[in-house]
Structure 1
Amino acid sequence: MIASQQDLRASHGAGRAVFRQAVRILEERGVAYMRRGPGGGLVVAEPNPDFVGRSLSILVESLTRDIQQLGVLPYALETHLFLHGAPRLGPEACERIRGLIHRLDRMAEAQFQAVGGHRLLHQAIRTASREPAVLLANRTASEFASDIMPYSINVSVESERGEAWRITREAAEALIAGDTPTLFDCRRRMLAMFHARWPTWNETDHDPGSPPKTVDPGRPEFNRAGNQAERLTREILREIRSKGWRAGERIGSGAELMARYGASTTILRQAVRMLEEHSAVEFIRGRKGGLYVATPNRARTIAQAAAFLARSAPAPADIHAFLTQLILEGLNQARAARLAGGCKQPQARETIAFGDFCTFAATQCANPMVELFVEILLPFGVQQSQAATQPGAVLDAFTAGDLATRRRLFLTAVWKAGGSEAR
């Protein structure tokens, strides 16, 4: 408890309206919330990755439109879970997952659709270990995916008890059993389904004639004001991405946007405020005013992510393990001889600390998602005093397009730096 509403308003000289707005901002950012009733007041919230995960997803969207670059994060997250998290899950975590399965199985089809049953179980599997870095990565990847994939596809995937649901249910049982081979097989089958359907989904998302959908008459649970505003933010982001995310470009006036998206003044204002919170847009008033594209604040977003991790106190060994999988997946996707321009390349005989080596390897991946998360996670999982290494051989492996060698050299560096934890 920080203080009561009365004490806070008195100490800051704030009126009721200003105080409510300040509390709303704190609640949206997961910092604090108001407890009502006798003895109530402003209370510090538990660390929550929702706000910063949304900021990270928008930041990445401003840097790339390539959904394959997004895929590195959830793929690394799942591999980390299968190899590092699943063997250590306790009985309580397993019971939570099984309890969720039982509740979803008992639901009627309409209720299953209303809660997004498939999505709930999928998220429960990914976050079963409750590691702070995993929670942050999962939230970022989920928000990015919801922005990139059209609403109609997202709803169908999370609401149907089809083949995808059966695979996810099988994966949940495999996680409870600690059956690593089945976990990897379930992911392989799910990816095969995704790749088979992707051409249709991709065409839908990039079709300029595809009308925005902020209201769904067939799904009343999605028609509340908050949900409509959230969906409108994704439609606005889609338009910004389609134009190449050029900061300073005018999107339209308030009247133009309401007509274009079929949104009311209230819904539009709420959506714009949500996007302004993440520095995605700026609304300028006046004769030539309107909604303009902004540049997400990278330094501030990274600082917010670091603050979440610092409050959550993650285990360095968990960060180290997840960081390893993230860079390995980035190396898998990096194209041969595709070296990031504008960065200082180490000399072949130069020796650098392991943390600097991780940064170097992430840079060579040429993937903004990898570079961003490596920058966030490094201070929590790697000490610069850890064993040093020579990056020249890795640079040669990139130039030669030798994936096996660049992975092996990185794993050797991880082994030397992490000792028994890496093993």
Structure 2
Amino acid sequence: MTAQFAVLVSDRGIKRERRAALLARQIEHDVCQRRWPVGTIFASQQELIQRYCVGTDCLRDAIRILEFNGVGRMRPGPGGGLLVSRPSINLPVASVVGHFQVIWESGDGVARREIQGARLTVAALAARICCQDKKAKDDGGDQWRWAMPKELRASSRFVVAMADVTADPFLQLASRSLLTLGHLFGESADQLSGKATRDNQELFSNLSEAIIAADADGAAFHAKCLVDQLEHSDPSRETKMSDPFLSEGSPLNRSRVGQLVRLIATEINTGAFGKEKILGAEAVLAERYVAALSTVRQALAVLEDAGVVAVRRGRSNGWFACEPSLELPLRQVRNYLASSQMDPVQAQRLIELIRKEPAQASKNAIFKILLLALESYATLSVTELSFARH
């Protein structure tokens, strides 16, 4: 337990929901230090209470937050405790997409040209990394071609397929975030036909030859050309995004707390609480949703940790919706990279490759978030994450 957390947890002025959020983040930090041991028991309930000097209620709320973030869940019975899990890639993807949904709702919007700009960067990075893949070059291109089925060479999933070839967790996450954003903006996953398809095959052949020859600059160029060719929908057409607040893989979806989290988040986004977005007191929310007060408190703890709501004390006390924050997507992306055991040195090399890309990569609204999360992860020391090879 860090000294900072020990001081905070002893402060009786901190309300329980905030204390639970602090506890959840401390446990996340400690799981990172243990190399994110997926499938193992981190500690029993009693050990967690004693280690972090908290009560049962606070721990229960913290566990809900950890479930939401895909860090772990409580296994009941003898030998049970906090079971460490690997966050689904759907969690950070939904968080990144959800951030732009809130921005869109507030009138700031994200243009499809930014999606395409970020996609070009990811494709170029994937091509450069593929050039370093010794197996792909030694096999005379067979490994590369088998990993890229014919139908994917002419679809919007091309960048996702390229990222999967690299097996780089950051590029896999980035490509799926862009794919989801693209679909929400009305892009089609259908194949092109006729001359466009023949052009794609020629561009793909050029890309394959550059990768086999380990021509990183040439591969990056041809990858961008191919992605440009695949961008065939009307750039002026933009549509609102649907609510991806909780991904389908979230453990919370199976509980009443998770259902309430989704319901409150949806009603905030659809304007059910008015322009002021005042939710009211916990008792009012319990009556509104016909839920137990303890269930409402756990749901609010999850939403507060996500930066969606906050509480105001005083005459006009109660809960209200917050402005969109980067805190949740940054944390969930970082957790996913840590659980994937991505070497921070590898992350730093990727950052250096990104910096070699044209200036628009650093100015792209979508890629800024992804790059910020990668930089945050890379700053974690190899010693702290215990990823160093002995």
**Greater relative contact order structure (CA < 8 Å, 6+ sep):** 2
So what's the TM-score if we normalise by structure 1?
0.46
So what's the TM-score if we normalise by structure 2?
0.49
